[in-house]
């Protein structure tokens, strides 16, 4: 297993190198540039040349690429052209918000999706099964931004149960040493701030987790339906084993393999940022920050953030592969 993990981590090098080349070419192919985005209608040939010289954009492309790669190896991605702050500082500011939102969305999707998919399969053809299938189709079909606006209008504007935007109430005096607001409230003993952060997470997490929930329900249902008709399950039932034992040892253990794959893929997507959800709820996370960087042609931010997100995606999928070995001993033996 250790050799497998090391081999997969070494694959990060060619992946990130190839991605860095594609990023560099793609960004330079976009119309406009950081100078035009910063100056807007006031842009003149002299001011554009001055900005490009300031950020080294007037140098040859291979010189720019070499400077970018040599600095990126040291985790130095330069400064944002829009905020003039180091990109690493922007990462430390925005990634905790996105991680917190993604974890909340995954808890919502997994906590409801796996039990609902399992019971829908065990009650095949019942009203619960039909409801879960219809609900999963609806969850995939409804656009995220539309669901987010509906949730915001009904539960925030009309009913007033949840906050409308942001990560916390500015009236609450709270310290944020880690950037994870829920955890910060617990660590500092400010439970009011922690509860307030949870309330701000509920609606964005439901909107963001709706599609993963629908996918997990369908995959779990289909996988359980396949497993319950296997010979080893019928043999266990014929031996008179308790249903709880059959479910734990035979059904779920084998049915979870494809579910884990889907969860890993969805987790990688969620951790990369949710532009629409973060925009609707004014959530200051990675997705919203990258969207602003694209509109401002902020090369340093886009190159740094996308490379880090790609590395995270590979690591998440590595964790999925490792979890296979923990669930299925046959994979671990191989």
Q: Which domain holds residue 69?
A: 31-74
Does the residue 16 lie in any domain? no
Contact between 299 and 77 under an 8 Å Cβ cutoff? The reply is no
Same domain? 142 vs 107: yes
Does the residue 105 lie in any domain? yes
Same domain? 66 vs 184: no
Does the residue 84 lie in any domain? no
Same domain? 67 vs 138: no
Same domain? 138 vs 233: yes
Same domain? 47 vs 189: no
Same domain? 68 vs 143: no
Q: What is the pTM of this model?
A: 0.79
Print pLDDT tens along the chain (334 aa).
Answer: 667 667 767 777 787 788 788 877 777 776 666 666 666 666 666 766 776 676 676 677 778 788 778 877 888 877 787 777 888 888 888 888 888 888 899 899 999 988 888 888 878 878 888 888 888 888 888 888 888 889 888 898 888 888 888 888 888 877 888 888 888 888 888 888 888 889 988 899 998 888 889 888 888 888 888 777 776 766 776 766 666 776 766 677 777 778 888 887 788 777 765 777 888 888 888 888 888 887 777 777 888 888 888 888 777 777 777 776 666 655 554 5
Does the residue 22 lie in any domain? no
Which among 263, 219, 259 is positioned nearest to 107, based on CA atoms? 263
* SS3 label, residue 257: helix
Same domain? 119 vs 252: yes
Q: What angle do CA 156, 202, 159 make, to 5 degrees?
A: 20
Burial per residue of 207-240, b for 16 or more beta-carbon CB atoms within 10 angstroms, e otherwise = bbbbbbbbbbbbbbbbbbbebbeeeebeebeeee
Write the DSSP assignment of 292-332 as a string of letters.
HHHHTT-HHHHHHHHHHHHHHHHHHHHHHHHHHHHH-HHHH
């Amino acid at each position: 297993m250790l050799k497998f993990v090391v081999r997969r981590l070494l694959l990060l090098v060619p992946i990130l190198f190839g991605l860095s080349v594609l990023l560099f070419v793609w960004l330079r192919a976009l119309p406009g540039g950081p100078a035009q985005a910063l100056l807007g209608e006031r842009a003149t040939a002299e001011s554009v040349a001055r900005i490009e010289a300031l950020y080294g954009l007037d140098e040859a492309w291979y010189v720019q690429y070499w400077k970018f790669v040599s600095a990126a190896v040291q985790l130095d991605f330069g400064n944002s052209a829009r905020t003039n702050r180091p990109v690493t500082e922007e990462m430390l500011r925005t990634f905790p918000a996105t991680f917190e939102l993604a974890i909340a969305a995954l808890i919502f999707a997994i906590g409801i999706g796996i039990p609902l998919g399992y019971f829908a399969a065990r009650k095949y053809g019942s009203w619960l099964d039909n409801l879960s299938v219809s609900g999963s189709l609806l969850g995939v079909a409804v656009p995220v931004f539309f669901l987010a606006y509906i949730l915001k209008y009904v539960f925030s504007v009309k009913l007033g149960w949840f906050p409308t935007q942001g990560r916390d109430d500015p009236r609450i005096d709270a310290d944020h040493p880690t950037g994870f607001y829920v955890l910060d409230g617990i660590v500092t003993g400010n439970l009011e701030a922690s509860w307030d952060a949870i309330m701000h997470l509920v609606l964005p997490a439901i909107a963001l987790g709706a599609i993963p929930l629908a996918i997990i329900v369908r995959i779990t249902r289909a996988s359980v339906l396949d497993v319950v008709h296997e010979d080893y399950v019928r043999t266990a039932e014929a031996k008179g084993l308790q249903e709880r034992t059959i479910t734990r040892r035979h059904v779920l253990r084998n049915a979870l393999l494809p579910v884990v794959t889907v969860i890993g893929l969805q987790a990688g997507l969620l951790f990369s940022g949710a532009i629409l959800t973060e925009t609707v709820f004014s959530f200051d996370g990675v997705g919203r920050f990258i969207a602003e960087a694209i509109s401002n042609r902020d090369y340093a931010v886009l190159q740094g953030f996308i490379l880090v997100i790609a590395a995270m995606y590979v690591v998440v999928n590595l964790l999925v592969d490792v979890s296979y070995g923990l669930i299925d001993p046959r994979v671990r033996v191989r």
